[in-house]
Amino acid sequence: MDNCIFCKILKNEIPSSTVYEDDKFRAIMDIGPIAKGHVILLAKEHAANLLEADDELLAAALPAVKKVAKAVKKTLGCDGINVLQNNGEEAGQTVFHFHLHLIPRYADDNQEILWNPTSPSAEELAQIRELLS
């Protein structure tokens, strides 16, 4: 896509710091990291989000995430890793190219991934389950 910043990075039109690459993905350092070692795994094939990506690409995504996450944990000694993937503007997606964030977490890093849990009734949950089944 001509105006996609991640496509431009993948074409080397915009510089990036690559930490991993295979035939389907390139992992780069996030230039606005949430934590030390924040990496973005970019799909080389353009798809706006998870819902548009083909199944073969999605099947390859988690093994690539695992490989990068292990390297981040081993190298940086983080205490945990969040894997985050947003789909749609309302879900926080700002670049419409399938990608996953690997965010190292450290004790006392003062970072939070927040949401406000709701309290649906058992009946509401059953109705939604029926709709989704």
Residues annotated as part of the active site: 99
Q: Which residues of 12-36 are buried (b: 16+ CB within 10 A; e: fewer)?
A: eeeebeebbeeebbbbbebeeebbe
Nearest to 76 by CA among 101, 51, 99, 104: 104
